[in-house]
Structure 1
Amino acid sequence: MTTYTNKGPKPDKGKFLNFDHVTFWVGNAKQAASFYCTRMGFEPFAYRGLETGSRKVVSHAVKQGDIIFVFQSALTPHNREMGDHLVIHGDGVKDVAFSVEDCGALVERAKERKARVVKDVWEESDENGTVKFAVVATYGDTTHLFVERSKYKGIFLPGYKPSVGHDPLLSILPQTNLKFIDHVVGNQPDDSMENVADWYEKNLMFHRFWSIDDSMIHTEYSSLRSIVVTNYEETIKMPINEPAPGKRKSQIQEYVEYYGGAGVQHIALNTSNIIETVSNLRDRGMQFLVIPDSYYDNLKERLKNSPIKVEEDMDTLQKLKILIDFDDKGYLLQIFTKPAQDRPTLFLEVIQRHNHQGFGAGNFKSLFEAIELDQDARGNLVTRDVKLVED
């Protein structure tokens, strides 16, 4: 495991501020938004569709804390771009948007460095002001939308109206209190991780923050490699994963084959009270990976020799199946949902940090073993030469 301290040169123009929102392309945006509201504790936030003048695409935005997810579907029968995307990838993340300062400067620098600009800088306005946008392509069919909204005072973006209607179910369900997007993880085919990390370094002037290789992260059957890249201010963390050789198909390879290439594997959502959050998510019916009790027996032994003390009750963490990773300075708590759609692709993570900026390296083996149980149930824990998805 490697932690990097060299941020590289500070960009002289343009600035990445934070995650702005995440856009999903799905078969039924209305129903997908409802799932994330009832199961994950989001609230209806903003809407753009036929009633607001959007004739081709409908968008349902939901919000929790500073987290905004936007679910989009085609409204007309012959939207080949969205239709083809769904056939190949299924429901999943199309775009990870960044809030930025000086969108124009960021795009010009990206163009100079030969990044593929999907859509050059444009503006949209309504009665609340003007927002500048641009779109660049990253791994697979995934994109990054740049959002410069310093001259905008609306609730979200031009063209959106506040969501209307009241779901009485949401008012009686327990609050989950998720705060912000901690990181967004992208899975890559084998031998693609380095090129993707290099792309962020070259085109966006991100730098390497953390990495780990398959000598540390492996089980009896599978392993992974990972590099985390981040912006200069280290407010946007983007881990990049790839599978490494093993006896069986890793969950990274399973993702790539069912998603049809590289894409967003999971989104980590930060909370300040993971016990309360996960308890309430479970009460809402959210399903999580199952961690064996032997993990906690081993953990308790390792903590005996550690200078850090876990504040949370260990029996409660074990009951909720929350994982703990730690070093000599602090610890983090994390848990992973099962896939949020039928394909074994996108899932979610809930994370709480106590002076620890890692990504759960000490838990990867246990996480992989838990995922492998589900892979086996799906018939996908097979040798590497077996194709999981038929053409």
Structure 2
Amino acid sequence: MRPTATGPSSSAGTPSTVSTGRDIALDALELWVADLSSTQHLLTAVLGFQLVGAPSERKPDEEAVFLVNGGVRVILRQGMSEENPIARHVGQHGDTVADVALVCADPAAVANRAVAHGARVWGTPDAPRIDLFDDGTVCHSVRRAPSFWGPAAREGPRMGMIDHVGYCLPRGSADMVASAYEKVFGLQRADADSLDEVGNKATGMRSIVLRSALGFTVVLTEPVSPASTGQTQRFLDAHAGPGVQHAAFGHDDLFAAVESLRSSGLEFLPVPDAYYDQAQQRLREVPVPWETLRRLGILVDADDQGLLFQLFTRPITRHGTFFIELIQRSGAVGFGANNVRALFEAVQATMDGHPDGVARDEDV
């Protein structure tokens, strides 16, 4: 059923709540996959997630598990019949993040705003699902309480929270989607450290960053050219439409996490030596362990609040359309514009190594 568009309820309809997204927070990521077993193995054996159990909502012809690492919660689902909507969706888009689940005090008010904005909404007033493209590619379920806080992580690096989620969108749609996040979810545009455009006319991308007061953050990217051959357009071609390209998982000690993850077999995008030469010149007044950064392949940038450390895995899905960012904020609140450029170049180089520009299973 669709929640009725009778206007937001009084508990969430004040201008301050609507304009700032004060009570919107990220709950969990839901991935729809073709092979649940192999994806579960990657997340548990390599990335250190723990199996909590099965989510409460599950259809008879699907398999589903709930995984947790620290403050990061992931649901995996696989359709077990050709008629199952998950199987059909994966058949069209490949393994994909089908839902970025949110929590807030009044889901019905969010649903009412979504209906008024023209978005597709279904579910119940207390647990609506909002589809910004009406094709299942950019979706948010909204509920009152988190799915599950989970047990303590097993031995090894523990994740903090999901720092942000990055979407690839068709050219000309980023402003429309940004408007939906502002008017429906109450997010505000953030200063993205001058990363509005990265790359050249042929391969470049444009970005918009939005954030709620509780930290739910989205990065929207679109190609800068209608004839783009860059990574954003290649994602759109391989994924058959918009979707989540990456999710950033926070760490308090990224150095120890990367040491552990590399020893577990996780592969990261390579960083050219020239990056560190340039970064060392740019941050020459900042005390940074440069040799350790080089050895581990960790990027570093700074803003007026502190340092940002991050690195990026190779794609972890069969179509090469989804990867994970690992991030540590040592005071920094921005997105490391210099690192975004380095990532752009690394992903572009990886894609250019294949005839159709999409990373293959052997790159995972």
Offset of residue 73 of structure 1: 1.1
Aligned equivalent of 1:78: 83
Q: 2:130 aligns with which of 133, 136, 152?
A: 136
- Given that residues 323 and 333 in structure 1 are in contact (C-alpha distance below 8 angstroms), is that contact kept between their aligned partners in structure 2? yes
TM-score under structure 2 normalisation? Answer: 0.85
Q: Does 1:282 align with 2:267?
A: no
User: 2:130 is aligned with what amino acid?
Assistant: V
Q: 2:122 aligns with which of 109, 118, 121?
A: 118
SS of 1:296's equivalent in the other structure is: helix
- Given that residues 30 and 97 in structure 2 are in contact (C-alpha distance below 8 angstroms), is that contact kept between their aligned partners in structure 1? yes
Aligned equivalent of 1:315: 291
Aligned equivalent of 1:255: 235
Q: Structure 2: which 5+ runs fail to align?
A: 1-13, 359-364
- Given that residues 22 and 214 in structure 2 are in contact (C-alpha distance below 8 angstroms), is that contact kept between their aligned partners in structure 1? no
Aligned equivalent of 1:65: 70
- For 1:133 and 1:215, the matched residues in 2 are separated by 34
- For 1:175 and 1:69, the matched residues in 2 are separated by 18
Structure 1 residues 220 and 38: CA distance shift in structure 2, 3 A:
farther
- For 1:243 and 1:287, the matched residues in 2 are separated by 27
**1:198-243 superposed Cα distances (whole Å, 9 cap, x missing partner):** 1111222222113477775226962211111122x24100111111
- The equivalences for 1:57-206 within 5 A come to 57-79=62-84, 81-121=85-125, 132-139=126-133, 141=136, 142-149=138-145, 156=148, 175-206=156-187
- Given that residues 166 and 221 in structure 2 are in contact (C-alpha distance below 8 angstroms), is that contact kept between their aligned partners in structure 1? yes
Offset of residue 45 of structure 1: 1.2
Aligned equivalent of 2:60: 55
Structure 1 residues 53 and 211: CA distance shift in structure 2, 3 A:
closer
- Structure number with bigger Rg: 1
Q: Does 1:37 align with 2:44?
A: yes
Aligned equivalent of 2:190: 209
Aligned equivalent of 1:24: 31
**Alignment identity in percent?**
28
**1:324-345 superposed Cα distances (whole Å, 9 cap, x missing partner):** 1113432200100010012120
User: 1:119 is aligned with what amino acid?
Assistant: G
SS of 2:60's equivalent in the other structure is: coil
Aligned equivalent of 2:3: none
Structure 1 residues 254 and 287: CA distance shift in structure 2, 3 A:
same
Count of aligned pairs between the two proteins:
341
Structure 1 residues 219 and 110: CA distance shift in structure 2, 3 A:
closer
- For 1:280 and 1:138, the matched residues in 2 are separated by 38
- For 2:144 and 2:305, the matched residues in 1 are separated by 37
Aligned equivalent of 1:267: 247
Structure 1 residues 257 and 377: CA distance shift in structure 2, 3 A:
same
**1:292-332 superposed Cα distances (whole Å, 9 cap, x missing partner):** 1111111111112x4x433xx21011111111111343220
Structure 1 residues 180 and 223: CA distance shift in structure 2, 3 A:
same
SS of 2:171's equivalent in the other structure is: coil
Q: Structure 1: which 5+ runs fail to align?
A: 1-7, 122-131, 164-169, 383-391
- For 2:298 and 2:58, the matched residues in 1 are separated by 45
User: 1:11 is aligned with what amino acid?
Assistant: T
Structure 1 residues 273 and 191: CA distance shift in structure 2, 3 A:
same
- For 1:345 and 1:97, the matched residues in 2 are separated by 20
- For 2:228 and 2:129, the matched residues in 1 are separated by 37
- The equivalences for 1:294-309 within 5 A come to 294-304=274-284, 306=285, 308-309=286-287
- For 1:328 and 1:235, the matched residues in 2 are separated by 19
- For 1:184 and 1:53, the matched residues in 2 are separated by 25
TM-score under structure 1 normalisation? Answer: 0.79
Offset of residue 288 of structure 1: 0.4
Structure 1 residues 253 and 213: CA distance shift in structure 2, 3 A:
farther
Offset of residue 364 of structure 1: 2.1
- For 2:167 and 2:196, the matched residues in 1 are separated by 20
- For 2:16 and 2:177, the matched residues in 1 are separated by 21
Q: How large is the RMSD of aligned CA atoms in angstroms?
A: 2.9
Offset of residue 119 of structure 1: 2.1
Offset of residue 84 of structure 1: 2.2
User: 2:191 is aligned with what amino acid?
Assistant: W
- For 2:227 and 2:148, the matched residues in 1 are separated by 47
Aligned equivalent of 1:10: 16
SS of 1:10's equivalent in the other structure is: helix
- For 1:266 and 1:193, the matched residues in 2 are separated by 16
Offset of residue 21 of structure 1: 0.7
- For 1:344 and 1:195, the matched residues in 2 are separated by 26
